[in-house]
Structure 1
């Protein structure tokens, strides 16, 4: 146990103190604060100034209604009549004096038409505000032309009354479903990124030591099994440390955004702080078990290659599986009751993401959740046994091109090495 702890803590300390780890962690935390508070940061640099749009109203009476629509909708836009020529207005736009030029006219049937000109048309928010305002004016004019008053027009656009009721006593409410939807999406993304980032870290760690020929010394003092799992647990500690920092930073960034904007944070608005504790516990269980499952695979892969440059080549099949699991999970978010998603959730390499999805989105019986956890534990045990054998032989193999044939060679070499060690 002492040798296992030595390998684990050495892996943890060496990575946690490395400059790439510290720099990537600080950059990610900074990005969390920037992205979360982007609106407030934009305002600090004058991003809240009104957009200035010149209007050439060829109808002669549409501009006041347009301005009223902007005011009602709360659009951050100032529209004023332009008395000079259209060419002059276009030049003012190019010179930066105006954000855009709107020309209002009527078609052959007498309906309002609009033509918007700007230096570029990438500001979709501004264009949408103008288009919606003109649409409202057109709707009103069309209603008046057939004799409808404002009350009748409002009745036409009044949303249909539509009630939703779950007949099952265990079904989630609409509010709970929204909370879980966000949580599941975040956790799926975290799991995907964690496996991709830290799994490759394990493979690179093993490949680096092997390429430096330190492995023969380590194997003689620490058993391959203890060494492999020492590295896996060390990387798991690193992952949990970094993810805990990201979660804490994200929470602080959201709270800061709420204070700066003077409104409720998204956590309070969506009541994410009221997410059931069992769901959080299940999320942690599937996250940790899933990470261990893939970590074992990556450690085994790392032992089969001789150079760090070969890591990406031999990792490709595992990465494809991870991407496939993530894509099925994205499909399952909209169709959690799908028989395909249910069946795929019991395939060990898909179980962490898909079972987490189903637990969050559906009210599963306890035995299904227990079966999913059992499948994961059994798969981890199987991969650990196979991985330990491949690791024992793989770390002593050099100069081979990465291929699936190396698995068989590594296992055979492991048996031979074990016989030599035991003297049998």
Structure 2
């Protein structure tokens, strides 16, 4: 065990002390702090004045809901973000004026007071949600004050208004992306971190092994340390480096939160973070690292020159990229059959299980099954990789995946 921890410490420290690691860590921390405060940065560089109001035209085509339209267009008591103007012109004319920049949006009211419908014409999803809430509030207030409320009428008061958002340009319906963005932020962030960590550190493992082989240091190490012990020590050492990298990201995130004038509790309770999802992300990150890392160590043992490392790890990079692309396309339809099927492929499981959990399209038993499959796959891969590694570190010559594995297995049996 002394040899194991000696190699772990040497592997981790040699990576942590490199200039590239220090510089990349600092850059990453700065980027994380910037991302956490992206809204403040955008406001800082935008040309809009803080507290500026936006004009929304109101076109009343309702049947008896004039009071609500007038209340909507009443002068605000306090300074508000929106000023509503009741316009007695045809809808097409008002929309054309909005396209010319006279208004920031248009609200069309139709239906009766009880069945009020509001259609918002504009591109701003946040504005559309605010308009919907304001019209709903005015309807509820009007009906509550005017009616002698009974049970049926109370149900009518709280009946949500029909609401639709239309594009100013083509008049076609648009889907509000506000809630979708909030729901996908954690999924995308966790999937990207998984992709970045797995690819970066898998390549690092292969490079570490190949470097020692090319400098003949490996021959000295093998003579005093069991190759299998050496392999798992390197996986652990570089995994420790990855852990420290993750910690720096978390620290940068915390700094960014406080720089923005918020607290950790405020950030964790917001719609932009899901602690449960991050917890699952850490689990699959651990399993995914050893799955990809075991293969990377095996491939590094088959390489005699550092120049061949990129060629050797290309299949791993392609697998991780495919998983990331599936996550990207699957965000709009996580229930698609190809997403479900791909999530059972161990190389795609780490990223796709996060997607499916975040979208709420997976049962608890299926989460457990996918984690068990991933864990078993990681164990099997590392057992096979250890045998290949044991023989591969003794090989020299041109890299060949198929022939190299055969030759490594033969040498491994001879070394028993």
Shorter-chain TM-score category? 0.5 to 0.7
* Residue of structure 1 in register with 2:294 after alignment: 296
Instruction: Report the Cα distance in structure 2 between the residues aligned to 1:400 and 1:264, rounded to whole angstroms.
Output: 53
Secondary structure of the equivalent of 1:31?
helix
Q: How does 1:196-345 map to 2 (within 5 A)?
A: 196-258=199-261, 267=267, 270-272=270-272, 275=274, 278-345=276-343
RMSD value, Cα: 3.8
Contact 1:255 1:265 in 2 (8 A): no
Query: Deviation of residue 156 (structure 1)?
Result: 7.5
Contact 1:8 1:231 in 2 (8 A): yes
Cα pair distance change 1:373/1:176, threshold 3 Å:
farther
Secondary structure of the equivalent of 1:404?
helix
Instruction: Report the Cα distance in structure 2 between the residues aligned to 1:298 and 1:27, rounded to whole angstroms.
Output: 26
Query: Deviation of residue 268 (structure 1)?
Result: 6.4
Contact 2:390 2:408 in 1 (8 A): yes
1:73 to 54, 69, 72: 54
Query: Deviation of residue 257 (structure 1)?
Result: 2.4
Instruction: Report the Cα distance in structure 2 between the residues aligned to 1:268 and 1:354, rounded to whole angstroms.
Output: 23
| Residue 11 (str. 1) matches residue 14 (str. 2) | no
Instruction: Report the Cα distance in structure 2 between the residues aligned to 1:292 and 1:249, rounded to whole angstroms.
Output: 26
Aligned residue pair count: 323
* Residue of structure 2 in register with 1:22 after alignment: 22
Greater shift in the superposed pair: 401-410 or 182-191: 401-410
* Residue of structure 1 in register with 2:72 after alignment: none
Encode CA deviations 1:171-219: one digit per residue, 9 max, x unaligned: xxx9997655221111000000101111111111111111110111111
Instruction: Report the Cα distance in structure 2 between the residues aligned to 1:265 and 1:199, rounded to whole angstroms.
Output: 34
Instruction: Report the Cα distance in structure 1 between the residues aligned to 2:247 and 2:104, rounded to whole angstroms.
Output: 53
Secondary structure of the equivalent of 2:302?
coil
* Residue of structure 2 in register with 1:371 after alignment: 369
Instruction: Report the Cα distance in structure 2 between the residues aligned to 1:224 and 1:327, rounded to whole angstroms.
Output: 36
Secondary structure of the equivalent of 1:334?
coil
Question: Gaps spanning 5+ residues in structure 2: where?
Answer: 56-92, 109-117, 122-130, 133-160, 165-176
Cα pair distance change 1:230/1:139, threshold 3 Å:
closer
Query: Deviation of residue 266 (structure 1)?
Result: 8.7
Q: How does 1:167-206 map to 2 (within 5 A)?
A: 180-206=183-209
Instruction: Report the Cα distance in structure 2 between the residues aligned to 1:41 and 1:156, rounded to whole angstroms.
Output: 29
Query: Deviation of residue 363 (structure 1)?
Result: 5.3
Cα pair distance change 1:156/1:249, threshold 3 Å:
closer
Contact 2:98 2:104 in 1 (8 A): no
Secondary structure of the equivalent of 1:303?
helix
Query: Deviation of residue 370 (structure 1)?
Result: 1.7
Instruction: Report the Cα distance in structure 2 between the residues aligned to 1:340 and 1:139, rounded to whole angstroms.
Output: 40
Query: Deviation of residue 161 (structure 1)?
Result: 2.1
Contact 1:304 1:406 in 2 (8 A): yes
* Residue of structure 2 in register with 1:134 after alignment: 100
TM-score, with length taken from structure 2 = 0.67
Query: Deviation of residue 72 (structure 1)?
Result: 4.2
Instruction: Report the Cα distance in structure 2 between the residues aligned to 1:42 and 1:363, rounded to whole angstroms.
Output: 34
| Residue 408 (str. 1) matches residue 411 (str. 2) | no
Cα pair distance change 1:396/1:278, threshold 3 Å:
same
TM-score, with length taken from structure 1 = 0.66
